[in-house]
Structure 1
């Protein structure tokens, strides 16, 4: 076993980047019919109530009549007439949607009908290209020589895509190109952020012009969303958007007063004379020359163009502070960071911000972020790049790699309301970029993921907390870790909630010649060998349990989920098409889908000696 650990600088960091937020309160694009799209609409497109793909046939969907899901099934011909364009036109926008690829399928989402985020069946790809899922597709110039016609493509940082037939989640934050009064372009279009299945693939990517196969080759301030309809079978649902065409709030008539002293609680200055005072064109801690133990109070006006609900995020580095707008305190006197919502009328409203700095080792810094109706979150204070941010400690898996650490699962909470912590987690990474975390306390796989391996910064930075975090697209397999194998009085008996009286005893693991572990444990007097291996082409994991003298009443719980949908050939779709379970060999035993605890479903199977199944994701 060999671990490759490297320190790298964060591309973005600190309070500003950590507070990046996609818009809330998104507007849904209706899919009860096709009226949200421009006419004429190709016969390739329709709405359905359900869709399924096969892992064995290219561009093959089966559908059920109905609405709510948008499906494209191409006819083998190519052309712009098969693309689907919304009647909605947008400039700056956030877009969020679910999509499903058929096997071998190719499609894309075009912002303004011009700038493509690629959709592709990239199942198992280890090094994404600009043509892989989640990438920003390349531009094209037929006048260039062969091999150079495509240019300026932006491959995804890693492959966060899923298998064909599974729902995937895409989030895009887009900034439209800017033009002056004469129509001359002054700024390029920009992808501020692209996330696929919870993984950030792009940040602040400049696009100099329309990408290949765009509907329009010119550039404008607004344009429709476009869904490519001539390349492959693809489905969409839950298409939601936010348009950002509002006027940003601005501060005017700002003045400040600086008071000397250590104020950990809300100050009352009374008749105190300020150390200094004056006016300032911007809200900044730089008006003060004292390094510590001071309070700066700012007053002025905030101009609000559009009435509605606004969100303010205030950071008072090394101290406390408070914000008042329209004579309303947005929160109590608070340490460091706080976020507040307030409904404001239009007009020039009284503004007051107070910043008390008393932590000696912190550098003075005041930051205020705002979002509101038609306004993407932005900094109302000058951006700073001098905040100290720890270099991340990343664990890669160029070879088969094991790391023992705590692992926090957001799928369940402990007694204090925090994420459930696996205390004896063993994360296993592979060069195929298919990884998993094994819970040695229960003999269960708690999560699998594809892409980069582990961020061990929480484990080793400063004192550390002993935990690591997956860096790829994570699929959680359990709500809370429970035994993989248990003895039941009948097939309907409740699955044990913990290991009490189960006879479960871990016996460690053995590594093969490639550094891959086989886990060992006892269930009473029954010895178990638990071998987990990456499938060919990185399509998932195959698990083989070898049980010596299983006896009677021994069951394996392969999965629990909100839903478990039985498919042909011992295949199961879990949690609304989030991942597959394929039962490969149960030694003649019949699997059973049953209702478990808390309204969830369980897939269990009697164990007769050897049990093999695959997790496809």
Structure 2
């Protein structure tokens, strides 16, 4: 029996979502909680050598190559190179660390910290290396830099061509040595059959690196692996293999290693039938009184079973065969109308817009399957896409296509081959406004540089909002169609919190910082460009005139900010940065949340203070005329 939609309508809208591509996106594997590799001891690894140990804390000095210091405890895996590490001809990779885990298809994520000038790598199945390296000062990464899929090697090839098929990261999204970085890897193992000569399994499909994200930035997508990369522990390829962490090249630390193994069979659609009904259906028809325009059996879900370009309803019914019980997630794309999905007689995706999603806990077995697609928007091309993900099953498209209707928009990318200035709105993920929505900086100005280090400044408060390394801006949401006025940074972003006034008058170092510009006499005065088109921002506050100059550091290692205050008022302080944790280091350096450094370059002799404020910490300094500091990230 078909449960009617009753008076429920297929609501549809033309919001931000369709502007950058109507349909069903399957670009990123759906995240799952994953399994943690225990780091209380080294029991998750086979035959660890003395260079590997479990510790409670680590630190790497920016100015000391290949050096890492540790503190007792647990939760962090660290490789500290030994003074002598002789090569073992019988076991050339003896100093590497190999997991007891044997994996095929896998999603892997972990935090890692590189020592200065250090080099390491993670080998998927012990064979395919993802490069880890201190590439902080690299402008254009190559196959030896951080995030690369390392090259293959053949000594028989001509000089200069021995290394081949390496894939450099598409941009440098690396952090500085001594800072925690985060990597996500989605890997598909090679496929084999059992029909090879002599019963030996024969490879039928190459492995693939589906995607790599470094510090939140996609740097690799759909890289085919024709064979093991250089330094593989194995000459052959197999369906399963261990994770292997390189230990003979440099000091490196790991924490929060988690993985999701995809080793279960996919659900299958069987006995699929369709019926096409002509008309504008904003609710389900009475099938007993409505004859289909066409009907039949099919092997795939597709909008092409309808020859009607618009105003139709496709009703699918059949069986979903589930081999692995558990919770499954579904995404449905039906451009130009609405859709609904039922499995095992329960509603999974209720009638709604062009894209819908839902989840259901399914038992093992053959389960009733029903899907509806009603199209009534004439300018949208018909398309139908359905994806499935579940326990041990990576998200895949179970339909003929992913539901795109051909309306996808090429992104509008702004490069910065020279110093580049762009005004736009800038959203601040993780920060909320008074209405509980994502905070939007409405008078933001972003400044790009050819060194590929960029920043955003808030003209409303004289605040440095964020800095980032890599590509400059995605202006698609600002300029496509009617747009919403915002742009997005494209590289590895270090956000600096909700913008507040850089300067404030305090009765004492523990007094509350000004929440807004009330009482500050803040007046923006725009900016002036130097001979290289780099802006210096000007404003008035607390009776003083301020010049705020931000410049990229040599080798793109961060930015330096020089703030000059003419006739500073008494009790005036500068707030340099805030964070959950601010740790003083040597040489006027401070470590911020393990994600960035602040270096005091010139405070006119004033002494900085770390103070607690609203559950966070702030680094402030009394103002005596000029404050110069650097953010290294």
TM-score (norm 2): 0.93
Q: Which runs of 5+ in 2 are unaligned?
A: 1-19
1:33 aligns with 2:41: yes
Query: Please, which runs of 5 or more residues in structure 1 have no aligned partner?
Result: 1-11
Partner of 1:273: 291
Aligned-partner Cα distance in 2 for 1:274–1:554: 78
Cα separation, 2, equivalents of 1:571 and 1:350: 63
- 2:128 matched to which residue of 1? 115
In 2: Cα distance, 1:57 partner to 1:331 partner: 56
Provide the secondary structure at the position in 2 that maps to 1:573. strand
Kept in 1, the 8 Å contact 2:23–2:405? The answer is no
Q: How far is the alpha carbon of 1:321 from its aligned partner?
A: 1.0
| Matches of 1:269 and 1:595, distance apart in 2 | 67
Instruction: Give the CA deviation at 1:386.
Output: 5.8
Partner of 1:362: 380
Segment drifting more, 91-100 vs 381-390: 381-390
Corresponding residue for residue 438 of structure 2: 419
Contact in 2 for aligned 1:315/1:366 (Cα 8 Å)? yes
Which residue of 319, 322, 325 maps to 1:307?
A: 325
Q: Could you tell me how far 1:22 is from its partner in structure 2?
A: 4.0
Query: Aligned match of 1:332 in 350, 354, 365?
Result: 350
**Greater Cα offset, 167-176 or 275-284:** 275-284
Partner of 2:5: none
- Count residues with an aligned counterpart: 602
Q: Does 1:58 align with 2:65?
A: yes
| SS of residue paired to 2:399 | coil
Pick the aligned partner of 2:103 from 87, 90, 94. Answer: 90
Q: Distance in 2 between matches of 1:487 and 1:141?
A: 66
Q: Contact 1:175–1:192 at 8 Å: present in 2 too?
A: yes
Tell me the secondary structure at the aligned position of residue 458 of structure 1.
helix
Cα distance per residue 1:251-287 (max 9 Å; x no partner): 1111111122212234444422222211111111111
Provide the rounded CA distance (Å) in 2 between the counterparts of 1:421 and 1:220. Answer: 50
The answer on whether the counterparts of 1:265 and 1:333 sit within 8 Å (CA) in structure 2 is: no
Matched, 1:452 2:465: no
Note if 1:594 corresponds to 2:611. Answer: yes
TM-score, length-normalised on structure 1? 0.96
Q: Which residue pairs with 2:601 in the alignment?
A: 584
Over aligned residues, Cα RMSD in angstroms?
A: 1.4
Q: Report the CA distance between 1:231 and its aligned residue.
A: 0.1
Kept in 2: contact 1:22–1:173 (CA 8 A): no
Instruction: Name the CA distance, whole Å, in 1 between partners of 2:570 and 2:135.
Output: 44
- Cα distance in 2 for residues equivalent to 1:573 and 1:279: 64
Matches within 5 A, 1:352-431: 352-383=370-401, 387-431=406-450
Q: How many Å apart are 1:142 and its aligned residue?
A: 1.8
CA drift of 1:14 comes to 5.9
CA–CA separation in structure 2 for the residues paired with 1:535 and 1:296: 60
Q: CA deviation at 1:418?
A: 2.8
1:156 to 169, 172, 176: 169
Aligned to 1:298: 316
Superposed CA deviations along residues 92-145 of structure 1, whole A, max 9, x for unmatched, are 000000000000000001100000110010012111100000010001112223
Answer whether contact 1:266 1:333 (CA < 8 A) is retained. no
Q: Secondary structure at the match of 2:232?
A: coil
User: Residues 64 and 117 of structure 1: is their aligned pair in 2 closer, same or farther, counting only changes over 3 Å?
Assistant: same
List aligned pairs for 1:520-531, cutoff 5 A.
Answer: 520-531=538-549
Which of 460, 464, 468 in structure 2 is aligned with 1:441? 460
Determine the C-alpha separation between the residues in 1 that align with 2:465 and 2:295: 58
Distance 1:369 1:399 in 2: 43
